[in-house]
Amino acid sequence: MTFHQAISYSKNLLKKLTGSSDLSSGSERSRDADDVSVDAGSSSTGVQHQDELSDLLAQADMWLGRAELLQSLLGSGIIASLDDIAGKESSTSLRDRLVSDERYSMAVYTSKKCKIDAFPVWVAWGHALVRMEHYAQARVKFKQALQQFKGDAPPVVLDIINTIEGGPPVDVSSVRSMYEHVAKSAATIFDDSLSADSYLNVLYMPSTFPRSERSRQSRDSLDSQFSSANSYLEDGPRSNLDSVRYAECIHYLQEYARPQMLAFMFRHGHYAEACSLFFPSSEPTAEGETSLSSVPRSDPLTTDYGTIDDLCDLCLGYGAMSVLEDTILAITQSPTYHDTTVIQYMNTVLTRICNYCEMHRHYNYLYNFLVLKGDHVASGLCCIQLFMNSMSQEESLKHLGHAKTHFEEALSVRDRTIEATKLVSRTARNKSASEKLTREMIMKFSTRVSYQMDVVKVLNSVDGPQWKTSLFGNPTDPETLRRRCMVVETLAEKHFDLAFRMLHEFDLPVVDVYAGVAASLAERKKGGQLTEFLKNIRGTIEDDEWDQVLGAAINVYANKHKERPDRLIDMLISNHRKVLACVVCGRLKSAFQIASRSGSVADVQYVAHQALHANALPVLDMCKQWLAQYM
């Protein structure tokens, strides 16, 4: 009698005992109620006996299963003993040994009989099937594993992906063919060492090819190599996965690890497919609606695959922002793009992408998405920022031209929808920043862009930072005011008409700007340009302002060049200013004569004071005599 038969016989005896016990307890329960007062001690003893029989039956079941397992193991040629299946630790060791020997079916059977975790077996079995390219069978094994797995699925799935990515399996048929060819070729070789012809023959490159054929094959090979290299440089990284293996990876990621799917697609160069995960499918679901997330979320832009920010991060990292643009453009230009929900979702997506680009200062990408969004005002403002970042005249004029076009288009749209705007003007709370700009503000931006283009054409002939001549900025910012004044002062020397218009457009301090121009020309001794400049401004300012501008130039000539600009002093209108100018130039006698002729006591006293300090005694005496006569 074998061990298995003994266990089976014992189990049958225990079943009979438990069955008879059940019958006796049933007959006792059916007795007359007068016999209910049987001793309670004897009843508890019967229950205890029943429990012991049940435990023995469970033990018999367990050992019967293990005996069947041992019988199967030995029958399959696997060396094993009762010690290998006696406990959990030994059973686990046996299971792992079976897995390492690739006896996966027996490993699963062992796990079931010994009541241990079969997860490692299913996983190892699935990996082995993947390496053999038996993908359909591998899916079944991995599904069994993940159904039993209590932890997080993504790490398991990533291991599966790594196995699939690890490289294609060996082509056994090709190896066999190569071996047969080598065997045939070796029979024709008489020397101990391979000759060149024999060596080429073994490598499938017979030297008997015609010369033209050899050159053609070599050229084709080189062309294919260069074309593949060029396509890599143009299109980005190429996947090492063929379509079948890539589809397998997508299956596991889609089923068990969607958050890792986006990065995987980018890693293998499937940019357009990755971008499409975040946009509604053109094919409706069973409910007739498009769905991007399997779980309801507070943020409608958060999907099972990640957020819009995650998508933008990867697009930037892989240089695929243009692919994202093309994906959105294809959706918005689709003939079926009329569903209100989809349109609203796409507008929300574009707003989020624009916020991302603005926050990370990617203004070139921001401009492209603002154009897709159709926000002409924001597009124009973004072009102004791009102008500020420009490093050449050509580039800055291009951006300013785009800004001008967008502002004009925004004005045109406002005019066409003036009535509709009036109807919704009450709901200003939901307007965007660009929608809150009035028509007058947009016109002002358009005008200032035109001025800026003129400035760039005149002043920015040399490549370099274009922001130095920018007219844009906060008018209350001192730096903005200083920069605008500097630009207008530079223009006023040769392009007075443009400078004059800009003075009033930007409400700049006219006298300070003109005085700055005059002082700059005087410092460089540009007398001819100074005369021309003074002619230009003569009728545009008051007499006192005129004297202030002339005074700025006179001070430079007197203090820096130590010259007497008599011609400029004669052009002064105020006698008081003439007196001050003569004193500055050291012409104390002329100052006294002007002051005495005007009858200004204060000016004569001032000249006397300056003569005393300069030790000009004749002038001092004349001042005293005049003052004695008039005081």
Q: What is the pLDDT of residues 328-337, one digit of tens each?
A: 999 998 888 8
Q: Please state, in angstroms and rounded to a whole number, the distance separating the CA atoms of residues 306 and 308.
A: 7
Per-residue pLDDT, 294: 54
CA dihedral (291, 292, 294, 300) positive or negative: negative
Q: Which is more confident, 389 or 182? A: 389
Model's pTM, two decimal places? 0.72
Q: Do 56 and 152 lie in a common domain?
A: yes
Please give the structure tokens belonging to residue 525.
Answer: 């001794």
What is the CB-side half-sphere exposure of residue 412 using CA atoms within 13 A? Answer: 8
Going from the C-alpha of 230 to that of each of 318, 327, 595, the distances in angstroms are: 17, 24, 86
Per-residue pLDDT, 206: 41
Amino acid at 100: S
Percent of the chain with pLDDT over 90: 50
User: Where does 301-438 have alpha helices with state H?
Assistant: 308-317, 321-332, 340-359, 363-373, 376-388, 393-416, 418-424
* 303 DSSP β-pair partners: 306
Q: Please state, in angstroms and rounded to a whole number, the distance separating the CA atoms of residues 613 and 623.
A: 14
Residues 6+ apart with CB under 8 A from 192: none
Q: Which of 627, 613, 565 is nearest to 590 (CA)?
A: 565
DSSP string across 152-166: -HHHHHHHHHHHHHT
> Domain tally for the chain?
5
Cβ-based neighbour number of residue 577 at 10 Å? 20
330 backbone dihedrals φ, ψ, rounded to 5°: -65, -35
**Radius of gyration of the chain, Cα coordinates, nearest whole angstrom:** 48
Per-residue pLDDT, 51: 61
How does residue 55 score in pLDDT terms, banded at 50, 70 and 90? Answer: low
Q: Which is more confident, 336 or 396? A: 396
> Domain end: 573, 589, 608, which one?
573
The answer as to whether 328 is a domain residue is: yes
Q: Do 591 and 608 lie in a common domain?
A: yes
Q: Which is more confident, 121 or 301? A: 121
How does residue 213 score in pLDDT terms, banded at 50, 70 and 90? Answer: very low
The string of pLDDT tens digits covering residues 475-499 is 889 999 999 999 999 999 889 999 9
pLDDT surpassing 60 at residue 30 = no
Amino acid at 111: S
How does residue 425 score in pLDDT terms, banded at 50, 70 and 90? Answer: very low
Overall average pLDDT of the 156-162 stretch: 92
Q: Do 518 and 595 lie in a common domain?
A: no
Q: Do 618 and 596 lie in a common domain?
A: yes
The answer as to whether 30 is a domain residue is: no
The answer as to whether 43 is a domain residue is: no
Per-residue pLDDT, 212: 40
> Domain end: 523, 557, 573, which one?
573
The answer as to whether 22 is a domain residue is: no
> Domain end: 411, 444, 471, which one?
471
Please report, in angstroms and rounded to a whole number, the separation of the first and last CA atoms in the chain: 154
Per-residue pLDDT, 337: 84
Per-residue pLDDT, 59: 58
pLDDT surpassing 50 at residue 286 = no
Residues 6+ apart with CB under 8 A from 171: none
Show the domain range for 537.
Answer: 473-573
pLDDT surpassing 70 at residue 327 = yes
What is the CB-side half-sphere exposure of residue 276 using CA atoms within 13 A? Answer: 10
Q: Do 10 and 115 lie in a common domain?
A: yes
303 backbone dihedrals φ, ψ, rounded to 5°: -110, 180
Highest mean pLDDT among 56-60, 99-103, 311-315, 431-435: 311-315
The answer as to whether 407 is a domain residue is: yes
Q: Do 560 and 538 lie in a common domain?
A: yes
Residues 6+ apart with CB under 8 A from 341: 289
Q: Which is more confident, 73 or 448? A: 448
The answer as to whether 243 is a domain residue is: no
The string of pLDDT tens digits covering residues 63-120 is 666 667 676 777 777 777 767 777 788 888 888 988 998 889 888 888 888 888 999 9
Q: Do 460 and 547 lie in a common domain?
A: no
Residues 6+ apart with CB under 8 A from 387: 396, 399, 400, 403, 452, 466, 470
Least confident of 16-30, 53-67, 460-474: 16-30
Q: Do 11 and 152 lie in a common domain?
A: yes
Q: Do 130 and 273 lie in a common domain?
A: no
Q: Which of 313, 288, 314, 290 is nearest to 300 (CA)?
A: 290
Q: Do 145 and 7 lie in a common domain?
A: yes
Least confident of 129-138, 361-370, 461-470, 542-551: 461-470
Q: Do 457 and 479 lie in a common domain?
A: no
The answer as to whether 451 is a domain residue is: yes
Residues 6+ apart with CB under 8 A from 334: 282
Overall average pLDDT of the 198-210 stretch: 47
Q: Do 8 and 120 lie in a common domain?
A: yes
Q: Please state, in angstroms and rounded to a whole number, the distance separating the CA atoms of residues 283 and 342.
A: 13
Going from the C-alpha of 143 to that of each of 122, 126, 131, 140, 170, the distances in angstroms are: 9, 9, 17, 5, 26
The answer as to whether 181 is a domain residue is: no
What is the CB-side half-sphere exposure of residue 271 using CA atoms within 13 A? Answer: 22
Residues 6+ apart with CB under 8 A from 437: 377
Which DSSP state fits 306? B
Going from the C-alpha of 293 to that of each of 141, 279, 289, 343, the distances in angstroms are: 27, 11, 12, 18
**Secondary structure of the chain: what % helix, strand, coil (to 5)?**
75, 0, 25
Degrees to nearest 5, angle at CA 351 with 395 and 288: 130
Overall average pLDDT of the 414-423 stretch: 64
pLDDT surpassing 80 at residue 8 = no
User: Where does 436-587 have alpha helices with state H?
Assistant: 439-459, 478-492, 496-505, 510-523, 527-537, 543-559, 566-570, 575-584
The string of pLDDT tens digits covering residues 515-537 is 999 999 999 999 999 999 999 99
